[in-house]
């Protein structure tokens, strides 16, 4: 029975005023004890269950769940399946937390190379990019003839973003998006040519 139900069930008319006050104060005290005794909410994060060697996918790692007050910067246990193919790049000792910084996306491993891009915010999804995003890169090349409009084409689709952040490094304090993307040899060659000879625009793919 809850405190409220107990209060409704008591025959208040039979009690003297002082008794009623005493009962009310006792109920308030009981409520305070219940509130104070409630455990603070926690979240489960992944930590190494034993010493772990680099080069293994998350699905093969001996990981355990530890309850903490905040998962900021850590990987929650509910994300283990989603990250099952990610590869550990740094050895961990038993009890150390699993961090995103010590994992490598399999797409990054396949692509191998890293390419740096710096674009105005207006051409880079207003800077709303983060590590782990996938982007399509469009290049608009100026026409060789005076009468034709510049030609735009899809340079690459589904490019993996390794790092991304925004700085005021452009002329007049313009917001610039600086990023590192995973590329293969062919895409690296295309981007190197397009950076100086075309206007690049990014489209962020919808997360799946």
- Bridge partners (DSSP) listed for residue 135: 159, 204
For 127, the token pair is 């800077």
Answer whether 101's CB lies under 8 Å from 131's CB.
no
pTM > 0.85: no
User: How much is the mean pLDDT over the chain?
Assistant: 80
Domain of residue 7: give its range: 3-37
Same domain as 171, residue 98? no
Q: Given this model, what pLDDT does residue 141 score?
A: 86
Same domain as 114, residue 77? no
**pLDDT over threshold 90, residue 166:** no
What dihedral do alpha carbons 80, 85, 91, 96 form, nearest 10°?
A: -10
**pLDDT over threshold 80, residue 18:** no
- Bridge partners (DSSP) listed for residue 141: 151, 198
Same domain as 167, residue 136? yes
The CATH code of the domain that includes 71 is 3.90.1210.10
Same domain as 192, residue 172? yes
How does residue 28 score in pLDDT terms, banded at 50, 70 and 90? Answer: low
Same domain as 136, residue 120? yes
């Amino acid at each position: 029975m809850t405190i409220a139900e107990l209060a409704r069930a008591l025959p208040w008319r039979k009690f003297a005023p002082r008794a009623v006050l005493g009962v009310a104060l006792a109920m308030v005290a009981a409520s305070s004890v219940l509130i104070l005794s409630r455990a603070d909410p926690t979240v489960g994060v992944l930590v190494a269950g034993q010493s772990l060697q680099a080069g293994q996918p998350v699905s093969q790692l001996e990981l355990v769940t530890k309850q903490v007050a905040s998962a900021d910067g850590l990987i929650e246990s509910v994300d283990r399946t989603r990250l099952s193919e990610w590869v550990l790049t740094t050895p961990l000792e038993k009890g150390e937390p699993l961090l995103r910084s010590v994992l490598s996306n399999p797409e990054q491993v396949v692509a191998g190379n890293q390419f740096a891009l710096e674009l105005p915010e207006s051409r880079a999804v207003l800077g709303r990019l983060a590590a782990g995003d996938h982007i399509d890169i469009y290049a608009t090349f100026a026409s060789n003839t005076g009468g034709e409009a510049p030609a735009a084409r899809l340079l690459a689709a589904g490019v993996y973003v390794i790092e991304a952040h925004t700085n005021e490094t452009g002329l007049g304090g313009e917001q610039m998006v600086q990023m590192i993307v995973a590329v293969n040899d062919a895409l690296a060659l295309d981007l190197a040519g397009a950076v100086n000879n075309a206007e690049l625009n990014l489209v962020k793919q919808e997360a799946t």
